[in-house]
Amino acid sequence: MGKDTATAAFAACGYTLPLTRTYIMGILNVTPDSFSDGGRYLDPAAALARAQEMEREGADILDIGAQSTRPGYTPVPQEEEWARLEAVLPAILEKARVPVSIDTFYPWVAQKALALGAHIINDVSGFPDEMMEAVAGTGCGCVVMCPTGSVPDIFAHVKGFFLERLDAAGRFGIAKERLCLDPGIGFGKTMEENLALIAQVGRTSLPGCAYLMAASRKRVTGYPCGSPPFEERLPATLAAHTTALLGGAGLLRVHDVAPAVQAARMADCLRRAGAAAPAPC
């Protein structure tokens, strides 16, 4: 990862992430009610300490969210979301040595965060035209998540959504190198659809676009294992993310950074070894 190199695959406000290895996006929720870690990092000092800890553990990106999007959530107004972000963001941006992503579906919040120096906008509502217009001229990375499902053909649905958003990005002058696609595990999809999307990344990815898998501690990782508590779903999360990585995902959004980094580095090595192996006689 570096700045201003010519081989960018995912570009974000001067940072470039060549898709030659897997990148780990560490989750930092500054919310009172997120499904897994709500309330732990509301205090600005605690948030900064956690951001720095994730960097030390090997996080390539810090993803900061100030609004829970757990199942059944009630949206908070954009002013409240921004107040939570504004309390922690300046200190994190001052200290961070990696790109900082903002998890928001409010164009106004996105603009304010980017003006402070954030690098990526991660929009779980699917990056509609209003968001694309708000960030078009900023150079930020854009994580485009498919928020819907429960359809006859989940692969055609998600890929069609991505193609439509790629076309929209072009109309707003947003290059495909700025896009990172997220199939939206846990958002409007059946358990079978979630499992299929994790297992078959290649059926929804697009050439030239980064691809993010974000299954960390979600219900899909508990379902095959007797639904243990959120904090006990690390092994299942690692299995899901490693499968997605070997299938073509280049970024993983995680709660548990250090184990995710180890698993990704090993999987990357195995993928390279497999690609280099001679064909059997």
Judge whether residue 7 has pLDDT over 70: no
pLDDT band with cut points at 50, 70 and 90 for residue 2: very low
Q: Report d(CA 238, CA 232) in Å as an integer.
A: 12
Is 0.85 topped by the overall pTM?
yes
Catalytic site residue from 165, 189, 217, 253: 253
How do 15-17 and 141-145 pair as beta strands?
unpaired
Q: What is the pLDDT of residues 200-217, one digit of tens each?
A: 999 999 999 999 999 999
Residue 123 CB partners (closer than 8 Å, separation 6+) = 104, 105, 110, 131, 142, 143, 144, 145
pLDDT band with cut points at 50, 70 and 90 for residue 275: confident
> Which range of residues forms the domain containing residue 198?
24-271
Q: Report d(CA 48, CA 70) in Å as an integer.
A: 23
Catalytic site residue from 56, 218, 233, 265: 218
Largest CA distance in the chain: 64
Please report whether residue 7 resides in a domain: no
Please report whether residue 136 resides in a domain: yes
pLDDT of residue 43: 86
Q: What is the pLDDT of residues 75-131, one digit of tens each?
A: 899 999 999 999 999 999 999 999 999 999 999 999 999 999 999 999 999 999 999
**Could you write out the three-class secondary structure of the chain?**
CEECCCCCCEEECCEEECCCCCEEEEEEECCCCCCCCCCCCCCHHHHHHHHHHHHHHCCCEEEEECCCCCCCCCCCCHHHHHHHHHHHHHHHHHHCCCCEEEECCCHHHHHHHHHHCCCEEEECCCCCHHHHHHHHHHCCEEEEECCCCCCCCHHHHHHHHHHHHHHHHHHCCCCHHHEEEECCCCCCCCHHHHHHHHHCHHHCCCCCCEEEECCCCCHHHHHHHCCCCHHHCHHHHHHHHHHHHHHCCCEEEECCHHHHHHHHHHHHHHHHHHHHCCCCC
Mean pLDDT of the region 257-266:
98
Count up the domains in the chain and report the number: 1
Judge whether residue 162 has pLDDT over 80: yes
Q: Is 159 a catalytic residue?
A: no
pLDDT band with cut points at 50, 70 and 90 for residue 72: low
Please report whether residue 174 resides in a domain: yes
Q: CATH number of the domain that 111 lies in?
A: 3.20.20.20
Please report whether residue 55 resides in a domain: yes
Please report whether residue 281 resides in a domain: no
In this structure, the chain runs to a length of 281
Q: Report d(CA 279, CA 36) in Å as an integer.
A: 45
pLDDT band with cut points at 50, 70 and 90 for residue 276: confident
Mean pLDDT of the region 187-195:
97
pLDDT of residue 8: 42
pLDDT of residue 188: 95
Please report whether residue 206 resides in a domain: yes
Pick 6 or 250 by higher pLDDT.
Answer: 250
- From the CB of residue 224, how many other CB atoms can be counted at a distance below 10 Å? 12
Q: What is the pLDDT of residues 18-66, one digit of tens each?
A: 999 999 999 999 987 554 555 677 789 999 999 999 999 999 999 999 9
Q: Lowest mean pLDDT of 130-134, 227-231, 232-236, name the range.
A: 227-231
